Structure 1
């Protein structure tokens, strides 16, 4: 049995990022979106008895629906998990659900099986994001407050390294299918299976060492109702704790910008700048590799100048990213090189801001046993921000017929987050 602060326990917890980050890179960002577009390009697809002339919109709606499902179920399940002491069971369930759903994407092999691609995209997304709620909730139970910045950063670093390794393997498979006696389409489908096996397989290392129920909860028979009561109590505490409430507002605003840019960057490069798939994949790899250094640098910087000051610096850089993207034009000479540079700048703060917001929120929590419920509010905040961000991005694109104005608008959310973050009072562990 490992105690809080034990390096082996922290490493085992952080290793879940190594396991699950292949989903966010290979499935959400790189291989699956390109495969889906290639299969459905210029075709009308059938789903839920309706004809969809724009399959990309169907895919976008599917992801939005999955985020709304997670936003709805995570506070309820977290309340039950905290009352019963069963965070690990919920985390395992959603890990297996996500991993098996990703593997099932193998059976999406043409327009006639788009329904398989859409349904398992929804289930995989729910499995990924819901498992993260319980994973994040373990942070204050595996690391002391003074260790949490580095522990959180270590998780993201593991995640970036692991996902880059598998993506490179997948790209070799997809770019040189003849070498393996298969088609490019089959190579992509095999990649989906590899992601599921990687995710579930490496997660077992985390599950083996994470504690089951450190508070020795003894749930009564009506644990579902008691779980709802737990949720109500935590919600009241969040609303009555001004520093935590303001941080969540600031986190909501920055998440609108961060998550929208992460989700839409490839589409911006492809549609707005006319970049090739190869250029986009190179940019994605640049972002991931630079993000490894960014997460490490800012975790150490936060120890010197405090979490709030470090977060403000990242927000300033994110705002700069928006302005630089606005200035790009597909007619510019060497636009691909500029886009690589922008990807490097984005990578520097992508891992940093995600790592720092997680550890800062953990440090701001009051003395509590309800970590899963508290982190469910953190997760819901992020999911609603994603829905709003993608909607605003799409609306401005429809009005202006230019994604550049959509990107520039996101700078407003970063500035607003910066202002609210500046009003936070210093605490013992957050300065």
Structure 2
């Protein structure tokens, strides 16, 4: 059982407290960091680097003479198949996440639900080893399952933050979690780069090397997920849990109604929904843009993403320190300006010039981790007590909620114009609108309205 806090302890669900024992808090925080360490490899090696270009090539192999594949009888340009699958995965995640969050708050059993989502996603990722030839439909299915699973598991994982960190600790704890994830992604990506560049000497084809990299990301995800699942503790609810297949949707409806009583929390979620979609789309489509529009090799793309991962570690920690000096909201707003400038620069990058692509990757790395980490910690202050998993499911829905719109816009723009440059620059709207919406949110009043203590600097 958690130690009941006195004095400096923070609030947690059902009147329980964040452990006042610093050693106990640190132990849970270190375990919590390791889920970022485990699953970030999927986001880096699979979604950002290898799967987009590889699945696009598989779809092109299966395409007809006009360059179209026909999933479910619908004509789709092969180059648009990957972003459409990302959109489909997000829609599935949106349907499942609120059910998982409400079930976790209702029963107090987050870990079994988080574990089920984590291992389903890890299994689907490992299964990508069998994606070869013209099996684009298999690739699309595995992508949809894995991407939806990571979204569900992250919603539950994020909801632990208010339970393991005092209010004044959360920016730092959240930033460390993201830094762990980027360090993990960089380490595995470095090994992937060595395997990919040496595939001939190892006696494997380029495609086989890619499939090995995809599968090992799933094995890594599943292996390290054991650590947070052992160290984090559930807070069991007193009394029997409600049952029934419709309970999750009834709880979701109740959550939506409850959020009407917290309009400033809702306003933050809307802003986050918009700019997070831009971030997610840039991450998932950057390799496709580099390979198809800028004519860069797979090795160049891997090195660029490795650069992003390394710089994102320092970026997450550095922006965490900026937040202590200037406040989380102001720091996030600065990062959104940087994102907009990065996309404008990306539009003008010359083809076949890897140096400029590395410069762009460096800019992304410096703001990527901090934007995500500070958004997570800022939201943790806006959650009413006892509703962490439920509200963090809404947060993750916001993280993914319009994330189908960005890839869809990207895919449609390419389908209509045949230009990836036009597709990439169209994403500026998400950062500009997100900035405008976030600038209007009075975060101190929002924290007070949620019934939480206001940190000195927010």
What is the SS of the residue equivalent to 2:402? Answer: helix
| Structure 1 unaligned blocks of 5 or more | none
* CA distances 1:301-335 after superposition (whole Å, capped 9, x unpaired): 111111111111111111211222233333xxx83
Structure-2 residue corresponding to 1:102: 125
Deviations along 1:22-73, one digit per CA (max 9) or x if unpaired, are 1111111112333333444443287766486744433333222111011011
SS in 1 for 2:98: helix
Q: Distance in 1 between matches of 2:273 and 2:253?
A: 21
Q: Which TM-score applies when normalising by structure 2? A: 0.86
Matches within 5 A, 1:23-62: 23-44=42-63, 50=73, 54-62=77-85
CA–CA distance in 1 between the matches of 2:115 and 2:155? 12
Deviations 1:220-255 (A, max 9, x none): 453544444433332222222122111112112212
Question: How many residues are aligned here?
Answer: 425
Contact 1:84 1:218 (8 Å CA) reproduced? no
SS at match of 1:273: coil
Structure 2: how far apart are the matches of 1:400 and 1:307? 39
In structure 2, the partner of 1:91 is: 114
* Aligned mates of 2:192, 2:327 — CA distance in 1: 39
The one of 267, 277, 302 aligned to 2:298:
277
* 1:123–1:408 CA distance, 2 compared to 1 (3 A): closer
Q: Following the alignment from structure 1 to structure 2, what is the Cα–Cα distance between the partners of residues 28 and 398?
A: 21
Distance 2:370 2:26 in 1: 21
Runs of 4+ in 1 over 6 A off after TM superposition: none
Match of 1:391 among 408, 416, 424: 408
1:163 aligns with 185
Q: 1:320-373 deviations in whole A, cap 9, x for unaligned?
A: 11222233333xxx832122111101111111111111111111112x212111
Higher percent of residues as helix? 1
> Residue 451 of structure 2 corresponds to which residue in structure 1?
none
Residues 1:242 and 1:201: Cα distance change in structure 2 (over 3 Å): same
Matches within 5 A, 1:5-404: 6-44=25-63, 50=73, 54-111=77-134, 113-212=135-234, 214-220=235-241, 222=243, 224-330=245-351, 335-366=353-384, 368-404=385-421
Q: How far off its partner does 1:158 sit?
A: 0.7
Structure 2: how far apart are the matches of 1:388 and 1:153?
27
Shift of 1:398: 4.6
RMSD: 2.4
What's the TM-score once normalised by structure 1's chain length?
Answer: 0.91
